[in-house]
Structure 1
């Protein structure tokens, strides 16, 4: 009897899979029809070719074992290019996959109250962007992103994508607003970021590869619990922050940085894990503001300063400051070689920020005069370092 039940369940599962449909589409109208009819396990295939940007929403939902998939007919042979005046592909369905699409030479515009964006995972759960290629796309307004995770979704993933030579934009943003809710458990893994030139914007800001949170003052205590791991960053020089963390309880694990001018930066937020990353070449390695961070098992070489703990305008999780001084952080088991300074405790001492940020938007003192305190340094290894630990 047990064998019969198992057999019947297997047949039922096979029948469900065999009934999955595949739609080959050529335009937005055909996409919308396929999306309206799509069921778990169905595949919407975009015919090979080059397209002007669309404005479509993938609202169909799949299941854990049978996602709905939007894919190129042949991976890499579906190319979107040209002016993007709103969201090209918005995903709102759960268990949805975007696969194998190429975005090349897109120009992101902001006009008529709309903002150009390539892919937005908005309020979706367990959805994924994979095997997509983003090359030489350009932002026309500061702080525009190519791929954004927004809303209150959970467990979304961006994996095995390539971001190459994009200009004046942010590659991936985990968007956090003033509301208490934010995207949770986003996973950004096994992507390649490369050949990112310095942005043309004022003070060279707005060119991160990965940004988790946007407002260090108002959003520093939000906890999206994002994980960024096993990504490769090569010649990423868009600005001073290759990765910018502005929220709490995130993890940055086993990423590799080669010859990047920017750093892995805890710009705001608290209680993040920075573990087992490899940084080789470039200017500096890891920059720390905020409390309770764990910086362990990182390998940093051939830089000017490996790890910097900055002065702040305030301290602790409850005070408000444009920068929060590092407090209660653990810096342990890091291996640092061929650097001028291994660990610098107290950079930017007495920096005056008068007129350099909006004190109405960011209610903070302007003097960076609060030193790092109560941080623990243990079992860090230094080779070929002029100054192992410097206190200022």
Structure 2
């Protein structure tokens, strides 16, 4: 991976090169010539693992430990321990590579955490053969600008988070061909979820596990934790060639936000497998196999663009149970919960194998879903087909293409050419002359303030994910330049 130099001045470079291999050398930030971004002083340079451990054990609040570039073999049974150490909310203990991607840790383990708090780990390449764990005894750990290319071992998960207030940012997860996930979020006790985890600007790529389950890039919970509110935010992440599972983002907990992500050229989509009250907003799913699939209650699906999807765009799930509940048998908790009171509004589905569709294989139909002001254009499958439903509201949807309309009521749609144009990023969108402009049939202002590009929706909204406006777009589909260790 291309490296970005952490130390910018000759003085800083000289200090790094002359740091003692046994005793760490502490200097002030001006003497080191270090930018403020990687961490705060005092700065300590280390060039072997013994010095790194000593620096961690004696670090003062807000210190930055810089590991000089190179490959470090971590001995079996002697990992780098962070036990009871850390900073505070505005003065993290920062452990960083001299340059982004310049330090590689080999061996079975690297950092091992216990009761650590307010620690940032930045700029490293991890190749270990065991899972990188953030246990529930920790809090406010940040993993930033690292590369996770762990040993390709069957069943090995790359990173498992159980600590509250964790931040996973600007990392690259890649290179797995076997069963196992890139990033899992769980909790300390069997039904708990880590609270307030934020996952942003990461690049997930090249998972080639050929199975049909167990290779998710992000798994946000597991079935026993479905009713636990995690309040996680998953945003601005890029997924490319993620083919290890039909679920690129698998949500199995409650009260989360999944927004502004781009999934491209992948088997995986976004799946609300277990849990309630999650918001899926302003994501791009492009040229892949699966779109958005929904189980559970009271979710909001808004402003998403799904284009070039081989399978169905949005799937509203039937259930083998009506609702999950506290104390239910474990055999029940793993079953599908029928999708009830789902709000699906202002989405654009173009060139999909099926538009907004419902399942038929399970006995319990979804109830009371609102499907309003969406744009569905395709020549394949059916544009809107939900054979099993009760109490649905359909209104204001625009349908077009050679695909059959489906079974939505005649009052729930207009068949008219929305005059789509594909932009430079490969995204189909409406133009100023489209009949979708100012055509929304409901007032969404209480719950939707902008479109997928970040342009404000003023007055009557345009149907679909895009609002025609002269305002500057502050979001776009992500590329490899926008996420991962070297992103700005």
Q: Please say whether Structure 1 and Structure 2 have the same fold, judged by a TM-score greater than 0.5.
A: yes
**1:337 correspondence with 2:350:** yes
Question: Per residue, is there more strand in 1 or in 2?
Answer: 1
The equivalent of 1:187 in structure 2 is 198
**1:74 correspondence with 2:105:** no
Instruction: State the Cα distance separating 1:121 from its structure 2 match.
Output: 5.4
Contact persistence 1:341–1:385 (CA under 8 A): no
- Secondary structure at 1:314 match in 2: coil
Instruction: State the Cα distance separating 1:205 from its structure 2 match.
Output: 2.2
The equivalent of 1:57 in structure 2 is 81
Map of 1:277-288 to 2, 5 A cutoff? 277-288=283-294
Instruction: State the Cα distance separating 1:175 from its structure 2 match.
Output: 1.5
Give the Cα–Cα distance (whole angstroms) in 1 for the partners of residues 170 and 114 of structure 2.
18
Instruction: State the Cα distance separating 1:23 from its structure 2 match.
Output: 2.7
Instruction: State the Cα distance separating 1:227 from its structure 2 match.
Output: 0.7
Equivalenced residues, count = 338
RMSD: 2.4
Q: Cα deviations across residues 87-117 of structure 1 (Å, max 9, x unaligned)?
A: 644264222110100124x4x3xxxxxxx22
Q: Cα deviations across residues 209-237 of structure 1 (Å, max 9, x unaligned)?
A: 111112x2x22101111110010111110
- Distance of aligned partners of 1:87 and 1:371 in 2 relative to their CA distance in 1, 3 Å threshold: farther
The equivalent of 1:165 in structure 2 is 175
Give the Cα–Cα distance (whole angstroms) in 2 for the partners of residues 390 and 103 of structure 1.
46
Q: Cα deviations across residues 271-305 of structure 1 (Å, max 9, x unaligned)?
A: 11111101111112111111111111100011121
- Distance of aligned partners of 1:229 and 1:91 in 2 relative to their CA distance in 1, 3 Å threshold: farther
The equivalent of 1:383 in structure 2 is 377
Give the Cα–Cα distance (whole angstroms) in 2 for the partners of residues 87 and 312 of structure 1.
43
Residue ranges of structure 2 left out of the alignment (5+ in a row): 1-29, 31-35, 388-488
Contact persistence 2:313–2:355 (CA under 8 A): yes
**1:311 correspondence with 2:323:** no
- Secondary structure at 2:53 match in 1: helix
Contact persistence 2:136–2:164 (CA under 8 A): no
The equivalent of 1:360 in structure 2 is none
Give the Cα–Cα distance (whole angstroms) in 2 for the partners of residues 68 and 211 of structure 1.
28
Instruction: State the Cα distance separating 1:140 from its structure 2 match.
Output: 2.6
Q: 2:164 aligns with which of 154, 170, 174?
A: 154
Contact persistence 1:88–1:117 (CA under 8 A): no
- Distance of aligned partners of 1:118 and 1:125 in 2 relative to their CA distance in 1, 3 Å threshold: closer
Residue ranges of structure 1 left out of the alignment (5+ in a row): 1-13, 109-115, 351-367
Give the Cα–Cα distance (whole angstroms) in 2 for the partners of residues 220 and 234 of structure 1.
27
**1:133 correspondence with 2:128:** no
The equivalent of 2:9 in structure 1 is none
Contact persistence 1:71–1:99 (CA under 8 A): yes
**1:296 correspondence with 2:302:** yes
The equivalent of 2:52 in structure 1 is 31
